[in-house]
Amino acid sequence: MAQSTPPARSPARLAAATVLLVIAIAGTLVVPIYARATPKLGAFPFFYWYQLIAVPVIAILAWISYLLLRTRPAPAPDPANGEGASS
């Protein structure tokens, strides 16, 4: 039953996904980066437009991570079956 792990991912993919997610979290966690009024975008002070733009940027980073970590449908269906019943 130990065989039911999904197909192995390469360490490089895992590392890349980790870096992307850390950037995504740090981008809004480190407040001094964006606690300022300028440069403005239209009428929006930096503090406001930075956080609004961060949303789609982080969605894209998360989506790339999803693609990197995506588990493909397991080739052999049988190993997974033993799992649930054995607990």
Q: What is the DSSP string of 5-52?
A: SPPPPPHHHHHHHHHHHHHHHHHHH-GGGT-S--S-BTTB-HHHHHHH
Residue 18 C-beta: closest distance to another protein, Å = 8
First to last CA, the chain: 11
Q: What residues between 14 and 53 interact with another protein by CB under 8 A?
A: 21, 24-25, 27-32, 35-37, 42-45, 47-48, 51-52
- For position 80 contacting another protein by CB under 8 A, the verdict is yes
Residues that bind another protein in the complex, under the rule CB under 8 A = 1-6, 21, 24-25, 27-32, 35-37, 42-45, 47-48, 51-52, 54-56, 58-59, 61-63, 65-66, 69-71, 73-77, 80-81, 83-85, 87
